[in-house]
Amino acid sequence: MSVRHVRRGAPDRYRDILDAAERVIARQGYAGAQVSRIAREAGVAGGTVYLYFANKKDLLVSLFRERFGRFIEALDAAMAEAASAPEALRRLVGLHLGMLGERPELAAVTQIEMRQADPEIRRGIDDALRPYFERIDAVLRRGIEEGAFDGGMDMRVAKRMIFGTLDQCVTAWVMSGYRYDLAALVEPVCRLLLQGLGGGAGGGRDDAKGAGR
């Protein structure tokens, strides 16, 4: 059973196992994280894990789906209140860096395990990330409609630029040993992204300045 079936109203043990998996994988990596150790960390018997997850691969993919599912819910609520596309982008950047900045263990898991070579895990993680790219796409299209972003941009490149910038910011923070405040990067990252997305569009530069205040 995976997170697709039980994320809403999930039983306490299911959530406990995911929380334990996050901690153990952050410390030992996916390869070194034994299901038995995750079970002990969660305070359950080893066989209990398999009542909720088919195997360790399913557990890792379910962790990504559940965590990104929570993020998307928060992102949708935040962006619904944004008065403009630049403001929506700023909220997206703030949530991405803010959420992971407050949860170093989750940051370690996402940044390291997102690059899994196993094709089955890779497909599962890609599926978990797809709604996020859809939200980025929606912000870009809104910005073009508002005249804030360059209408001639390559959408695929722009989406990768936004996600890749945030991904690299978090990766560098994790690799530094969490030595600085990740949330402090929100404003400079927003300024750079908005300046790049503005291109020749008349509203881009003004909105970029406003996001930096």
Q: Quick one: three-class SS letters along 84-122?
A: CHHHHHHHHHHHHHHHHHCCHHHHHHHHHHCCCCCHHHH
Query: Is pLDDT at 2 greater than 90 in this prediction?
Result: no
- What fold is seen in the domain 56-211? Tetracycline Repressor; domain 2 (1.10.357)
Per-residue pLDDT, 3: 40
Per-residue pLDDT, 199: 56
Query: Is pLDDT at 5 greater than 70 in this prediction?
Result: no
Q: Report d(CA 174, CA 185) in Å as an integer.
A: 14
Distance, C-alpha 59 to centroid of its chain: 17
Give pLDDT tens digits for 155-213.
999 999 999 999 999 999 999 999 999 999 999 999 999 999 985 444 444 443 333 32
**How many CA atoms does the CB half-sphere of 61 hold within 13 Å?**
22
Q: Report d(CA 180, CA 114) in Å as an integer.
A: 22
